[in-house]
């Protein structure tokens, strides 16, 4: 009965006119972000963070969440029609989706992608509603030592699942933690890493570093790429032609969608998981289970249905650790935590108890948003196709203007704009050197939280550092983190990881 009562509360919040409007806005922007290559979900959310200041926390989170799972829908359009993934999670869809388009089956590919994503989104939302409350009860049993160890595990998992070198990922985490410690220490009042600059006394705002590292760096990287004429099969999709799906295609697609949903739901919960890892894992499973693996890469519909279901399920279940324990499983969830902090809401298990309307309203809005996305991605496919003709050089000035205005509104200070430019250049340099920015942002978010829990644990234990290994749960979490890191030193595992990414 409590479950039904909570869902009733959630829908009473999600179905208000204001929240429906912002849910639609979020899913629409997310679809646009997925359709237009080169923008990216983290960049879009970072750009819009300053504009959520005037919104209620629930409304702001509903809109930002809509952008995230909406982009997973939209990215299939470019992957299938022009061989360009709008999002990293759409890379796998390119392999078979584009080949289906070349065979004149773009409509079937788009259809199965949208329906698979809708099914996965609905199932993943049920899992959030079902497993959220039990995990919250478990989280309340965590003390400062357990939270510190859990955050260490989260960062190590993010390092292991990051693309590129493990050493580089560790370096990014450490750099992010150092940036998070800039400013005035609230407990001692001393200045840390401010170099005497008054503008840094209050620390670095998350919006500033997110926009610089993600927005400006991505903008520069995309501008240096020449716009080339690419083969496109957009014209082959007209009107109601997308609604055709043969019985044979359906028989192949629905088991792949179910398996993809299960894989995405499981991997989305894990630290470092989410849409990207889920889509790759689903494709690997489908190819392994197929009686004709040689069809993959040549237009196998399972190669579209599985990954597209997996990336949407992974995107939505990644909210579980963020909402229940305050631990971001990926860079988008780190941005969501930033959005909560903007509204003075401390992420963690208390979100459900102190803000039940926010928790259940967000969950209910995901069902509403998934329904909206089916409407946006099927009947309006012609509009999305036309958007593919927009040149990035025309979008970039607008993106730069939005970045600058958004950052300036954070503190009405031009220093924030200059700081954003600094992080933009830094982010661009890191990208050119093959450093992934996501671990840096995760370190920036978790660093101050780790320091706070470390201090609290040491205070409670009266300075005894063995508290982290004498408490069973804390010791278990640290042991898992060490095993993950040690496994990366094994040559065979390291080679397999490098080949996978």
**Token pair 């620390």: residue:** 203
The predicted model scores a pTM of: 0.68
Rounded distance between C-alpha atoms, residue 157 and residue 269, angstroms: 12
* Domain range summary for the chain, segments of one domain joined by +: 2-226+245-500
The token pair at 179 is: 């940036």
Rounded distance between C-alpha atoms, residue 57 and residue 254, angstroms: 37
pLDDT in tens, the chain (501 residues): 576 787 888 888 888 999 999 999 888 888 877 776 556 677 777 777 777 777 888 898 888 888 887 877 777 776 777 666 656 666 677 778 878 877 777 777 878 887 888 888 888 888 877 777 776 666 667 778 887 887 787 778 767 766 667 788 888 888 988 898 888 887 777 888 888 787 788 788 777 887 788 778 877 877 776 655 444 455 555 544 445 667 777 788 888 888 988 888 877 776 555 666 677 778 878 877 877 777 887 778 888 888 888 888 887 788 877 777 777 777 777 788 878 877 778 777 777 778 888 888 888 888 888 888 877 766 666 666 666 556 667 767 777 777 777 677 666 778 888 888 898 899 889 888 888 777 887 788 778 878 888 888 888 888 888 888 888 888 888 888 888 777 776 666 666 656 655
Give the pLDDT of residue 21.
Answer: 92
Q: Which of 255, 290, 221 is nearest to 429 (CA)?
A: 221
Rounded distance between C-alpha atoms, residue 60 and residue 41, angstroms: 16
Rounded distance between C-alpha atoms, residue 126 and residue 143, angstroms: 29
Query: DSSP secondary-structure letter at 187?
Result: T
Asked if 406 and 49 count as a contact pair (C-beta separation under 8 A), the reply is yes
Q: What is the pLDDT of residues 425-435, one digit of tens each?
A: 998 898 888 88
Q: Which of 433, 25, 79 is nearest to 233 (CA)?
A: 79
In Å, how far are 123, 317, 348 from 130, measured between CA atoms?
A: 11, 11, 17
The token pair at 139 is: 């989280």
**Residues ≥6 apart with Cβ < 8 Å to 8:** none
> For residue 33, how far is the Cα from the chain centroid?
13
Q: What is the pLDDT of residues 119-143, one digit of tens each?
A: 888 888 888 777 777 766 666 677 7
Give the pLDDT of residue 271.
Answer: 58
In Å, how far are 152, 484, 496, 497 from 490, measured between CA atoms?
A: 21, 11, 10, 11
């Amino acid at each position: 009965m409590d479950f039904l009562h909570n869902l009733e509360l959630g829908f009473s919040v999600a179905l208000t006119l204001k929240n429906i409007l912002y849910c639609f806005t979020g899913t629409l922007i997310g679809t646009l972000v997925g359709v237009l290559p080169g923008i990216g979900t983290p960049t879009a959310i970072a750009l819009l963070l300053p504009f959520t200041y005037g919104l209620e926390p629930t409304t702001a989170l509903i809109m930002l969440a809509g952008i995230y799972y909406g982009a997973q829908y939209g990215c299939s359009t470019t992957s299938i029609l022009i061989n360009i993934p709008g999002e990293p999670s759409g890379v796998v869809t390119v392999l078979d989706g584009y080949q289906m388009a070349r065979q004149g089956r773009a409509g079937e590919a788009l259809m199965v992608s949208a329906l698979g994503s809708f099914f996965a989104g609905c199932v993943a939302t049920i899992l959030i509603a079902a497993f959220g409350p039990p995990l919250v009860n478990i989280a309340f049993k965590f003390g400062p030592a357990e939270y510190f160890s859990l955050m260490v595990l989260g960062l190590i998992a993010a390092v292991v699942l990051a693309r590129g070198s493990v050493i580089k990922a560790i370096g990014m985490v450490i750099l992010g933690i150092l940036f998070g410690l800039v400013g005035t220490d609230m407990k001692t009042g001393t200045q840390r890493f401010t170099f005497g600059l008054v503008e840094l006394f209050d620390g670095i705002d998350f919006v500033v570093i997110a926009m610089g590292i993600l927005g400006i760096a991505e903008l520069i990287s995309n501008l240096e790429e020449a716009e080339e004429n690419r083969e496109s099969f957009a014209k082959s999709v007209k009107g109601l032609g997308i609604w055709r799906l043969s019985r044979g295609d359906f028989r192949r697609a629905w088991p792949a969608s179910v398996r993809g949903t299960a894989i995405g739901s499981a991997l989305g919960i894990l630290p470092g998981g989410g849409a990207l890892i889920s889509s790759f894992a689903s494709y690997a499973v489908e190819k392994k289970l197929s009686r004709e693996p040689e069809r993959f890469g040549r237009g196998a519909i399972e190669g579209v249905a599985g990954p597209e279901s997996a990336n949407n399920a992974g995107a939505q279940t990644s909210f579980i650790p963020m909402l229940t324990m305050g631990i971001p499983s990926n860079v988008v969830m780190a941005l969501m935590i930033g959005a909560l902090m903007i509204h003075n809401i401390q992420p963690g298990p208390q979100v459900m108890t102190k803000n039940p309307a926010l928790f259940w309203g967000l969950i209910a809005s995901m069902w509403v948003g998934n329904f909206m996305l089916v409407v946006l991605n099927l009947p309006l496919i012609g509009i999305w196709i036309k958007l593919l003709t927009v040149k990035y050089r025309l979008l970039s000035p607008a993106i730069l203007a939005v970045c600058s205005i958004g950052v300036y509104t954070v503190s009405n200070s031009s220093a924030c704009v200059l700081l954003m430019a600094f992080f933009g250049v830094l982010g661009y340099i890191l990208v050119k050197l093959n450093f992934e920015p996501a671990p840096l942002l995760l370190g920036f978010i978790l660093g101050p939280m780790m320091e706070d829990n470390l201090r609290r644990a040491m205070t409670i234990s009266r300075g005894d550092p063995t508290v982290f290994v004498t408490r069973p749960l804390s010791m278990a979490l640290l042991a898992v983190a060490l095993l993950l890191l040690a496994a990366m030193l094994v040559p065979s595992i390291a080679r397999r990881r490098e080949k996978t990414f």
